[in-house]
Structure 1
Amino acid sequence: MKNLILLGYMASGKSFIGKKLAKKIDFDFVDLDEFIESKEKKTVKALFEEKGELYFRKVEKKYLSALLSRDEKLVIALGGGTPCYYDTMDALVNDASIETLYLKVSIQEIIKRVTNETAKRPLIAHLKTEEALIEFISKHLFERSYFYNKANHVIDANQSADTIVENIIAKLF
């Protein structure tokens, strides 16, 4: 196994868990959104606003491919939408050198985690009420679940970070 890919909806803990997991198993950690921002010299939010989602999804695919071609052991935290575009999820699942892990979080937990940071998240920045947030996330998560559930492993991410990391290690090693 060369790479571990963490995927899931926004606020599922992909980056937080990814850093802890990588440290514990002595892999390098890469947050795909941060990697894109460093290469493009713009925030994800700015890329969405200035160039549109289609441009963003194209560069996202390009940079993910670049990371996966490296000869090092990586834990990669994908953006929430990454698995849902092009043939990305099928390609990841069918690559024998990759283990994909869906960090599955309840809608209630997602709402709790994003309530005070909607402005930082381009997909939900425009939503002004909790009802609108719940409705959007419920619909969006339902649409993306088809892709997320193709992952090699579904991990209950409603637990503490340490428990999640231990569960992943027990499952894979």
Structure 2
Amino acid sequence: MKNIILIGFMGVGKGSVAREVIKHSDYIAIDTDDLIESMENKKVKEIFEEDGEAYFRKLELNVARWLESSVKNTLISTGGGFYKQKSLKKIGTVVLLDSPFDAIIKRIKTHPNAARKIKKRPLLNDLEKAKELYKERRPEYLALADIVIDVTKKSALECSKELLKKVKKYA
């Protein structure tokens, strides 16, 4: 078993799918944003507001270096911009959770904790800007992905089962 790295736009369901994967496999899971929040003792939103995006991206680089050198047999959920780490392919198999932008926004807005979900994603404060970011990132996500899972209209459980089946074939 090697690492599985979940990439995809913010709010696509990386955390939800990760929780289902660990229920149905021998993987353990970590989240890059959670690691950064622990390192800094601040929420991602606070890091962006107080220290800026460039500083946050440096923290992501530190996490990527640690993952590459120290983490094995792990499912790694990443923040929306983590895919830009040059060592991504060395860390593990890259799995894109993919969905159209409008479906992602609908998913977030209809979630029981919608207000919290939106609040914790500072880049979603301006939906037009977020949509432009999505359009910029999606081709890059697709180019990097070893495996693509379309999460639109699927439960986290359905996505996790598909992911595990595809990862097994890919390995």
Using the size of structure 2 for normalisation, the TM-score is 0.86
How far has the Cα of 1:166 moved from its partner? 1.0
Distance 2:68 2:137 in 1: 22
Cα 1:145/1:68, change in 2 over 3 Å? same
Which residue number in structure 2 is paired with residue 130 of structure 1? Answer: none
Q: Deviations over 1:66-122 (max 9, x none)?
A: 1232253110001001113xxx2x5323x2x61100000122211112333322211
Any idea what SS the aligned residue of 2:18 has? Answer: helix
Structure-1 separation of matches of 2:138 and 2:120: 23
Q: How many residues are aligned here?
A: 160
Query: In structure 1, what is the equivalent of residue 88 of structure 2?
Result: 92
Inter-CA distance 71–31: structure 2 relative to 1 (3 Å threshold): closer
Counting only pairs closer than 5 Å after superposition, residues 19-168 of structure 1 correspond to structure 2 as: 19-84=19-84, 88=85, 90-93=86-89, 95=90, 98-115=92-109, 116-117=114-115, 118-125=118-125, 127=126, 133=127, 135-149=128-142, 150-158=144-152, 159-168=154-163
1:134-173 CA deviation, whole Å, 9 max, x = no partner?
Answer: x333211110113211211111111111111111111122
Identity %: 36
- Range that drifts further, 34-43 or 105-114: 105-114
1:3·1:68 contact (CA, 8 Å) conserved in 2?
no
Q: Could you give the per-residue CA deviations for residues 15-50 of structure 1, whole angstroms, max 9, x where no partner exists? A: 110121123211110011011101111111111111
Counterpart secondary structure, 2:12: coil
Identify if the C-alpha distance between structure 1 residues 171 and 124 changes in structure 2 by more than 3 Å, giving closer, same or farther: same
What's the counterpart of residue 166 of structure 2?
Answer: 171
Residues 7 and 94, structure 2, Cα contact 8 Å, conserved in 1: yes
Structure 2 runs not aligned, ≥5 long: none
Runs of 4+ in 1 over 3 A off after TM superposition: none
Alignment gaps of 5+ in structure 1:
128-132
TM-score scaled to structure 1, two decimals?
0.85
